[in-house]
Amino acid sequence: MQIYVCVKHVPDSAANIVISGKNSIDKSIPFLINPYDEHAVTEAVKLKKSLKKSEVVAVCLGTDDAEKTLRSAMEMGADRSILIMVATGQDSITTAKALKAAIESDGEPGIIFTGRESIDDVGMQTMFRIGKAFGFPVAANVVKFSIKGSKVTVESEREGGIRDVYELPLPCVLAAGRGLNTPEYPTFPQIVKARRKQIKKIDFNTLGIEKIGAAMEVVELKPFVKKRCPVEIKGTPLVAAEKLAKILHEEAKVI
Amino acid sequence: MEKTGIFIEIANGRIKNANYGMITAARGSNSELYAFVINFKAEKIKKKLYAHGIDKIIEIRAENDFEMAWNPVSWSKAVMEAMNAFDIHILLALTTGIGKELLPRIAAELDAPLVMDCIGIDFDKKTAETFRYSGKTIATVKLTGMDLLFGIKPNIIDAVPVNTDSVTAVAMSSDSIDSTTREIDALPETKDISALTKPEIIPFTIKTDFLKTTGQFKNIKLNKTVMPETSSSDNFSNVNLMDADIIISGGRGMKNRENFKILSDCAKQLGAAVGASRAAVDSGWVPYSMQVGQTGEKVSPKVYIACGIAGSIQHFAGMKTSNMIIAVNIDLDASIIALCDYYIVMDLFEIVPLLTKVISEINHT
Ligand SMILES: Cc1cc2nc3c(=O)[nH]c(=O)nc-3n(C[C@H](O)[C@H](O)[C@H](O)COP(=O)(O)OP(=O)(O)OC[C@H]3O[C@@H](n4cnc5c(N)ncnc54)[C@H](O)[C@@H]3O)c2cc1C
Ligand SMILES: Nc1ncnc2c1ncn2[C@@H]1O[C@H](COP(=O)(O)O)[C@@H](O)[C@H]1O
């Protein structure tokens, strides 16, 4: 089976975000693979090991620098990868179309794994758009996965621990959530091996993606800082507890 | 007149309070507001929806008055069908477990723009404000398209009722809503006589045939839904993190699983939900569904009490929009101390049980 995994190159979650211009960020910060996409790669590689004759291909739409994220995916066990090269990030409407075109021109997908959301845009939608483009069913926030013949069974965590158990036919799109598996740090031999793996580069402009007159565009970016002036609650433990209760009652009005 | 559709979320037979903030946001569209409810007799909530500005309520159900079993594909198809029937091109829903299933499915099907977790919408400019880069920035996103979809971040936008006189409007401000999962119980009398007939309730039946999915929009079959066991030892509170007015969270400072009982006891007195840092989740003390942060739930309660949590940038990403942050930490240099509203430099094992005791005394007087 051809297993595709969509991985996004995102700013390190610990990085300081500095806004540059009206609507973009200073990109001279570390970027790495989207954390949820690590779960997607891990699951894809696990699946490959249980199937005969299958291949895991990581796919990313991004700038040259995104090679690093594809390299990480290959260190984690993806066999090869595809980079759709763009000058700037695209919205999820266009991204999904490009990912579809690139995957389709490469092979016949059995399962496409994605992450449940990207930590920079938090669009929560690219997987559904990929599903629609292919005509495949989609399961979101997958925390458990099994396959039997041409059917997969997944547990999709909805909210507050509620899990929907779905059955989907192949081919399908599955968005990995945390809890699906535990990604492992690649070993040194895996890192060395990944250096020799292939990255196929496709220029976005050659994919012939038509803009459909629907788009999402960030027109302004502002830092979010909620000014807080920390005040210490002092006194003996009992006095502090009483003061805190008073704050909850009088100021926060929650009790 | 333009129309705006609002998917009203019902949980355990009651309307979630976060819906009212969403309706307030929708009023900015100056259009006719259509509330969609699925499997729900709107008669009970009609007055309340009217008080918040809803013009029409579309009761969606399956043929022969059957309930439409939960399935994200058939539910999103039903909502699209209703949008189509009433010629609605703007849709709002909450960015909750259900909203995260329905909105992107509809957006994908319509090839329409969608912004999730909106904290504000400008309908004239067709822009929405939302957090980007894990809560470090606020982005204004312009939507272009025939249909526009918005996911509303729950509990951020204050509910402001309209169709009541000024006196009663004050009484209904969101502060008077006691607990988020509860409804506003006493709706004030309104002098507007039309409130008796408004809003109009329109039943909308979805043909069973239609629900059998074909072609492009292939079905996924729901085998069952597993609820978290309320009796299980994993259940630290009966309040959902996403709906809570107060969240009390524990981190590595809790030291073990058993100690979370201290937070659980306090939460019961406060009517709070219990959350956790990733360190506590990764240590196996509490389930992942309790994790707050970048890779957990993103919450915005009125009060967030962090106990034995250092305040990493990733934890902050999930709770920085809280109205008030209170830190309990033994270390004055912990990052959270500089980022909160109130802090207590004390052993959590000493202060939390005392807080529980104080609150319980208040509750019993
Ligand atoms: C990609 C990525 C995603 C992540 N996502 C998340 C996320 O979603 N959520 C999250 O929380 N983390 C996340 N993290 C992890 C994050 O970086 C921190 O490691 C984690 O938040 C630390 O948890 P903590 O504050 O409980 O533990 P620690 O950093 O160990 O802090 C424990 C605190 O408890 C205090 N303490 C100890 N004993 C007591 C006591 N008796 N009384 C009072 N105070 C006491 C200590 O002074 C200290 O400040 C993520 C990391 C990465 C790389
Ligand atoms: N530029 C991209 N390249 C590859 N995969 C992507 C890209 N953008 C989004 N994805 C995938 O879609 C998922 C959801 O992203 P989002 O809709 O932005 O929250 C991510 O976890 C990725 O798996």
Domain boundaries, chain A: 2-207, 229-255
pLDDT, residue B212, reads 62
CATH superfamily assigned to domain B3-212: HUPs (3.40.50.620)
Residue B257 tokens read as: 């699983």
Residue A17 has pLDDT above 60, yes or no: yes
Instruction: Provide the residue ranges of all domains of chain B, joining segments of one domain with +.
Output: 3-212, 246-363
pLDDT band of B170, cuts 50, 70, 90: very low
A237 → closest Cβ in B97, B216, B354: B354
Q: In this structure, which CATH number among 3.40.50.2000, 3.40.50.1220, 3.50.50.60, 4.10.410.60 belongs to the domain B246-363?
A: 3.40.50.1220
Q: How much of chain B exceeds pLDDT 70, in percent?
A: 88
Residue B205 has pLDDT above 60, yes or no: yes
Q: Ligand 1 centroid to B252 CA: how many Å?
A: 6
Whole-prediction pTM? 0.93
pLDDT, residue B194, reads 53
Q: Ligand 2 centroid to A115 CA: how many Å?
A: 7
CB contact under 8 A, B355 and A252: no
**A34, A134, A199: which to mutate for ligand 2, most atoms within 8 A of CB?**
A34
Q: Ligand 2 centroid to A241 CA: how many Å?
A: 45
pLDDT, residue A84, reads 98
Residue B358 tokens read as: 């104080």
pLDDT, residue B175, reads 38
Nearest atom within ligand 2 for CA of residue A36? 21
**A37, A59, A126: which to mutate for ligand 2, most atoms within 8 A of CB?**
A126
Write the CATH number of the domain with boundaries A2-207: 3.40.50.620
Residue B272 has pLDDT above 50, yes or no: yes
Over residues B347-362, the pLDDT tens digits come to 999 999 999 999 999 9
Q: Strands A138-148, A151-159: parallel, antiparallel or unpaired by DSSP?
A: antiparallel
**B133: chain A residues, CB-CB within 8 Å:** 11, 17, 25, 120
Over residues B168-188, the mean pLDDT reads 40
For residues B64 and B62, the model is more confident at B62
Q: Cβ-count burial of A216 within 10 angstroms (0-12 exposed, 13-18 middle, 19+ buried)?
A: buried
pLDDT, residue B146, reads 96
Q: Ligand 1 centroid to B317 CA: how many Å?
A: 12
Q: How much of chain A exceeds pLDDT 90, in percent?
A: 95
Query: Can you give the C-alpha Rg of chain A in angstroms?
Result: 22
Over residues B222-249, the pLDDT tens digits come to 889 998 876 677 789 889 898 899 999 9
Residue B207 has pLDDT above 90, yes or no: no
Report which protein residue has its CA nearest ligand 2's atom 23. Answer: A114
pLDDT band of B181, cuts 50, 70, 90: very low
pLDDT, residue B176, reads 37
Q: Which residues line ligand 1 (CB under 6 A)?
A: A 13, 35; B 251-253, 277-280, 291-296, 308-310, 312, 314-315, 318, 328-331, 334, 347-349
What H or E segment, with its residue span, contains residue B348?
A: helix B348-363
Minimal C-alpha gap between B228 and chain A (Å): 5
Listed in sequence order, the residues at least 6 apart from B167 whose beta carbon sits closer than 8 Å to its beta carbon are B188
CB contact under 8 A, A230 and B340: yes
CB contact under 8 A, A218 and B114: no
Q: In the 3-class helix/strand/coil scheme, how is chain A assigned residue by residue?
A: CEEEEECCEEECCCCCCCEECCCEECCCCCEEECHHHHHHHHHHHHHHHHCCCCEEEEEEEECHHHHHHHHHHHHCCCCEEEEEECCCCCCHHHHHHHHHHHHHHHCCEEEEEEECCCCCCCCCCHHHHHHHHHCCCEEEEEEEEEEECCEEEEEEEEECCEEEEEEEECCEEEEECCCCCCCCCCCHHHHHHHHCCCEEEEEHHHHCCCCCCCEEEEEEEEECCCCCCCEECCCCHHHHHHHHHHHHHHHCCCC
Over residues A127-170, the pLDDT tens digits come to 999 999 999 999 999 999 999 999 999 999 998 889 999 999 99
Residue B186 has pLDDT above 70, yes or no: no
pLDDT band of A26, cuts 50, 70, 90: very high
Q: What is the mean pLDDT of chain B?
A: 89
Distance CA A49, CA A53 (A): 9
Over residues B159-188, the mean pLDDT reads 49
Other Cβ atoms less than 10 A from the Cβ of B333: the count is 8
Residue B264 has pLDDT above 50, yes or no: yes
Over residues B322-333, the pLDDT tens digits come to 999 999 999 999
